[in-house]
Chains A and B, each alone.
Chain A
Amino acid sequence: MIRYLASRVVTMGFTLALVSALVFFIINLPPGDFLSNQIAELQAQGESASVAKAEFLRAQYSLDAPLWKQYLIWLGAVPGPDGYSGLLQGDWGWSFEFDQPVSDVLGETLWLTVLVNLAAMLFIYAVSLPLGTLAAVRAGGVTDYVVAFVGYIGLATPNFLLALILLYYGERYLDLPIGGLMDERFEGEPFSFDKFKSILVHLIVPTIVIGTAGTAAMIRRLRANLLDELGKPYVTTAKAKGVPPVKRVMKYPLRAALNPFVADIGNLLPSLVSGSVLVSVVLSLPTLGPALLAALRSQDHYLAGFILLFVSALTLAGMLVSDILLAILDPRIRFGGRGR
């Protein structure tokens, strides 16, 4: 088990390194950068003091160095002008637009992003487990069709539209709050029970919106797996023996069908995270989505790069969790068998 875990962690670290290189490359794709735009603008206005500051920042972040060297400095593997100061040392870079370190700009949003995605994840599992089971047990029945219909709608409706519609009707009929993740009076406040309650109420719409597409996919997957399992002879034997229906489904077939259900986190998480970026722009949640969009628009490339990397790391961490869960659930994986 420990050996398996260690190998997974090492693979993840390797993947993360590749992802960081890719991300750095992508954020440097747009021609020009924030500082050179700013310098051009300031020179046009003839402000030499600010130009000097911008030039200083350029040197500070070695934007003149070749790309691979910039990347290594950003990573913290090679000393920059101020010695080692990069991601590895916990320095997340400088946001040129806000004129602040990235860590100060993002602050709370990081944890709110994790919270929103976690809530959506829990929602997906909490909803799709009972519904998927029901759909499989009552295959061909009314429940099955209703679940399939809702699932297809969830699959086909773009997230952001669902967000707009739910936002409107939620506010109108259920008095759910619009936008944001907490009441304005709690913003920047220390953590308290009231703040927690406010966050919970605000989480309802985003969670449903982000979770719907994933729920639809999950229900279909679980239904198919469980149907396969229910057709097997041992279920018939159990029925012949007189095992009551609930126990007959719960004891073995459901457990066998759960395996791919957990393994699917790997597929689910990336789409979940990217969905949450879009939805949080529409619902103006204080998460990474709007921040990323703004950073991309203003070419604030360390900010954008860090957000992209954080979001990717989030999915990788989720995959690691799913691997660990699977290993606990399935001895064939734990002992490195040929099960997969």
Chain B
Amino acid sequence: MKEPGTDPLQGGRAPSPIDPDTRYVDGVAYDPDADTDIGGARPDLDMPTGKLIRRRFLRHRLAVVSALFLAFLYLCIPFVEVIAPYGANQRDAEHLFAPPQAVHLFHDGSLVAPYVYPTVATADLEKFQWTYEEDRSQRQNLRFFCLGDPYQFWGLIDGRFHIVCPPEGGTLFLLGADKLGRDIFSRLVYGMRVSLTVGLIGIAISLLIGITLGGAAGYFGGWVDATVQRMIEVIRSLPELPIWLALSAAVPPQWSPVSVFLMISIILGLLDWPGLARAVRSKLLSLREEEFVRAAELIGASPQRIIRTHLIPNFMSHIVVSASLSIPAMILGETALSFLGLGLRPPAVSWGVMLNDAQDLTIIEFYPWVASAMIPVILVVLAFNFLGDGLRDAMDPYS
């Protein structure tokens, strides 16, 4: 069939009408990608998955803004002592329930250094309430990069450096003061440390239990699977908050704030894992049957390699998404527990502890700024939700 001397790769020839046995051989070199090349219609599909995910995520504006916002907050967490102008529990008996102070930039129409007007408290004996008036006659300039109230950085190093300090002899209550004259803004900043990390620790616990149990159920099947399934069913049918309440009521009151905090995060994580375990299990079950896994097995890849390079990337995206959607639930959970007085207890500061002060209607009516912790709570929860939605869309770039 093959004529001696002609290499089929060097240039084929058309089948000769005379010789029916001649097989046509295309002279063009074999291109293994030819099948998957769809004529440049979607050349972007050939990009590495990571790049596709990033590109698709960046298209989701709201998610990007949320991610930046959250990144900013989490970056602030280590430095709260420096950022907050006051200490978390520092009281100013002269300024109980002081309203928020405005920072002024313009004086008589010209731009000057940021300043505040001092406030003077007078007792309103008819309503039994403090009223505050701005003393417009004098300006007090804010101090920046200054030495102010002493603190212990991370509870270890003594320091006095702040980014912003109240003016000499004056006050700086950006968001007002609470019933003990503590600066709400500083407390918000301090509370951020607890409120934002509670979700992270909780999700770590939840991931640990969820992946272990879900993985075991999906991998071993049989009675392990049945047991885990039953556990999931039981835990999912429990109403979360009452159980959280019961569990945190069991935390001994004499524990230190740090251990209470750790315990609360663990409690929050303990009820969250079933959804995750279920997802991991079903993903593992379906992935195990996929052709690429079988192909890898047939080529002779070790189970370790299959799990690492073929299975984990496939359900990692799912885990990242469900984690980013679980964290806000835990933040809300901590807030609710502390609000009811069964979570963190003063002197620990968290957004929930702050909201505990805003429990009754008189506060909402007369001193609404005491409840200002609700704004960061709402913003953070929203941001996590948007981030989760954006990630979910982005993680599946081929859809």
A contacts, CB < 8 Å to B = 15, 18-19, 22-23, 26-27, 29-31, 152-153, 155-161, 164-165, 167-168, 178, 266, 269-271, 273-275, 277-278, 281-282, 292-293, 296-297, 299, 304, 307-308, 311-312, 315-316, 319
Contact = CB atoms under 8 A, between A and B. Distances in A.
Interface stretch (B203-211, B314-322, B378-386): B378-386
A269 B157 CA distance: 49
B335 interface: yes
B340 A281 contact: yes
Interface centre among B249, B250, B358, B371 (most CB of A within 10 A): B249
A281 B374 CA distance: 18
B234 interface: yes
Given A27-B246, A167-B361, A296 B342 contact: yes
Given A160-B336, A282-B359, A296-B246, A152 B240 contact: no
Nearest 9 interchain pairs by C-beta: A274-B241, A29-B250, A274-B239, A296-B249, A156-B381, A273-B239, A30-B250, A156-B382, A270-B239
B162 to A, nearest CB: 30
B238 interface: yes
5 contacts: A26-B250, A31-B252, A156-B378, A156-B381, A293-B340
Contact of B239 (A155, A159, A277): A277
Contacts of A293: 245, 340, 342
Interface in B224-249: 230, 233-234, 236-243, 245-247, 249
B249 A297 contact: yes
A275 B245 contact: no
A161 B374 contact: yes
Given A26-B250, A29-B250, A296-B342, A158 B237 contact: no
Interface in B334-389: 335-336, 339-340, 342, 355, 358-359, 361, 364-365, 371, 374, 377-379, 381-382, 385
Given A22-B234, A30-B250, A273-B242, 12 more contacts: A15-B230, A15-B237, A161-B355, A269-B239, A270-B240, A273-B239, A274-B240, A274-B242, A277-B241, A278-B340, A299-B249, A308-B243
B328 interface: yes
Contacts of A281: 340
B332 interface: yes
A270 to B, nearest CB: 5
Contacts of A271: 239-240
Interface of B: 230, 233-234, 236-243, 245-247, 249-250, 252, 328, 332, 335-336, 339-340, 342, 355, 358-359, 361, 364-365, 371, 374, 377-379, 381-382, 385
Contacts of A274: 239-242
Contacts of A308: 242-243, 246
Nearest to A171: B361
A297 B340 CA distance: 11
B242 A316 contact: no
Contacts of A167: 361
Contacts of B243: 26, 308
Contacts of B382: 152, 155-156
A164 B361 contact: yes
Contacts of A31: 252
Given A19-B234, A292-B245, A168 B240 contact: no
Given A29-B247, A164-B358, A155 B242 contact: no
B234 A15 contact: yes
A160 B339 contact: yes
B364 A311 contact: no
A266 B358 CA distance: 33
A266 B236 CA distance: 9
A29 B244 CA distance: 13
A275 B329 CA distance: 12
Contacts of A315: 237-239
A296 B245 contact: yes
A183 to B, nearest CB: 19
A304 B237 contact: no
B247 A275 contact: no
A30 B241 contact: no
Nearest to A314: B239
A251 B230 CA distance: 38
Contact of A292 (B233, B242, B339): B242
A308 B332 CA distance: 21
A319 B233 CA distance: 11
A315 B237 CA distance: 6
B249 A30 contact: yes
A312 B239 contact: yes
B268 to A, nearest CB: 13
B249 A168 contact: no
Given A155-B381, A296-B249, A304-B246, A270 B234 contact: no
A158 B242 contact: no
A30 B359 CA distance: 27
Contacts of B379: 156
A152 B385 contact: yes
Nearest to B383: A156
Interface centre among A31, A161, A165, A293 (most CB of B within 10 A): A161
Contact of A164 (B238, B336, B364): B364
Contact of B385 (A156, A158, A277, A316): A156
Nearest to A289: B242
Contacts of B364: 164-165, 168
A270 B238 CA distance: 6
Contacts of A26: 243, 246-247, 250
A158 B399 CA distance: 34
A155 B250 contact: no
B355 A168 contact: no
A156 B339 CA distance: 16
A312 B332 CA distance: 21
B240 A159 contact: no
Contact of A312 (B238, B252, B381): B238
Contact of B242 (A22, A159, A307): A307
B393 to A, nearest CB: 13
